[in-house]
Copies of this chain bind each other. A is one copy, B any other.
Amino acid sequence: MGDFAPPFRYNGTPYLPDIVQTPPMTPATLKLEHTGEFIMHRGGRLPGLQLAFETWGELDSSASNAVLLFTGLSPGAHAASSELDPKPGWWEPVIGPGKAVDTRRFFVVCINSLGSCKGSTGPASINAATGRPWRLDFPELSIEDIAAAAQLVLDALGISRLKALIGPSMGGMTALAYLHRFPDRVDHLLSISSAPAAEPFSIAIRSLQREAIVTDPNFNHGQYDDEHWPWNGMRLARKLGMISYRSAGEWRERFGRDHQQRYEPTAFGMNFQIESYLEAAAEKFIGQFDPTCYIYLSRAMDWFDLCHGCPGFYQAMSGVKLKTACVIGVDSDILFPLHQQREIAEGLERLGACPQFHALPSTQGHDAFLVDYDRFTPVIADYFLSID
């Protein structure tokens, strides 16, 4: 494509794609092997499944201090460092000894979502029946399946009741699905930038991301390999993701109209810092996440509707017995907007969960919980100090 198309060339160092499909197993990674059939929410069946997870802290003798953390679309189970894996986790500033979620006090569990590609069973896993990756033969995945699969881990750990459930972004949807399925097993809920149902603007973004991936000729009905990887579809999808994860205000302050020097400019792009920022974010991601897992998880979010068939949140969640809840949203979030956080808080209020509601004035949009720790950590710390 000459000088106007990706892959964009670095000024200096050559561009080296870095495919990491191997699950990033470390000594900290625990594995649950479930050999029984797993029946999916939409009717599909898995002959068995594996879930990768990590834990921090010690489960107390009555198994009453467990905190389950569901993740957003792309993170794995490595939420925080530990002696077994000192690499910083994706929520390093929040989880650990003396941190907001204090692992001296709580036994924290983070599970790589069913359907993902970071150690848990998903479309990138080998289908034992064929000896090849499942890819598009993987059964339809729902947020409800991620929640149900997590229960297998808790059962294996002997945890019948959660002290707290934490769900940011897609993980917040999963937390709501978990509460719907297991209404009396959670004491406290921390919901962050989540949604009781996907709204059309978010569906539009995600649908377009999936379209970019499946129409990449290299996607080839899911028959891609390392040599023919849907780089371009994944690159476009990730850049669109970044556009939805951050905010115009942040970028105005941070980049303005400054020019970039990291890549060689192309005829129709790579002039501005915002463009090199998006490219760098895409490069970091596109080889690290399986395209089929991506479109399965993305579609699961679009399908999610807690209130499906119910008049509303309250009715869908009737029976949920939370002692308290904390709902955090960000005013610049365009993907999981603030009014959806209010909807969750109001529903929880009607359920008697006395939720705290925090509308944080961060410019960092949906991603704020991963970057704006100055605003998030104190709120999370206060909430966890407040729970008995």
Query: What is the interface of chain A, defined by CB distance below 8 A to chain B?
Result: 1-2, 4-6, 136, 197-201, 203-205, 207-208, 210-212, 214-215, 217, 221, 232, 235-236, 239-240, 242-243, 247-248, 251-252, 254-257, 267-269, 271-275, 278, 295, 298-299, 302-303, 305, 334, 337
Contact = CB atoms under 8 A, between A and B. Distances in A.
Contact of A200 (B203, B214, B252, B303): B252
A200 B268 contact: no
B211 A236 contact: yes
17 contacts: A5-B214, A6-B215, A198-B257, A199-B256, A203-B272, A204-B243, A204-B278, A205-B243, A207-B268, A207-B274, A207-B275, A210-B269, A212-B236, A236-B236, A257-B305, A268-B295, A271-B303
Given A136-B267, A257-B197, A240 B1 contact: no
Given A199-B248, A204-B243, A204-B278, 14 more contacts: A1-B215, A2-B221, A5-B211, A199-B257, A200-B255, A201-B252, A203-B275, A204-B239, A208-B236, A211-B239, A236-B236, A268-B295, A271-B302, A272-B302
A208 B243 contact: yes
Given A210-B269, A215-B5, A257-B197, A274 B203 contact: yes
A336 B203 CA distance: 23
A271 B267 CA distance: 37
The 5 closest A-B pairs by CB, nearest first: A201-B248, A200-B274, A200-B251, A210-B268, A200-B255
A330 to B, nearest CB: 15
Contacts of A208: 236, 239-240, 243, 278
Contacts of A271: 302-303
A162 to B, nearest CB: 29
Contact of A252 (B199, B239, B305): B199
Given A199-B248, A221-B2, A251-B201, A214 B295 contact: no
Given A257-B305, A274-B203, A211 B252 contact: no
A60 to B, nearest CB: 42
Nearest to A271: B302
Nearest to A217: B217
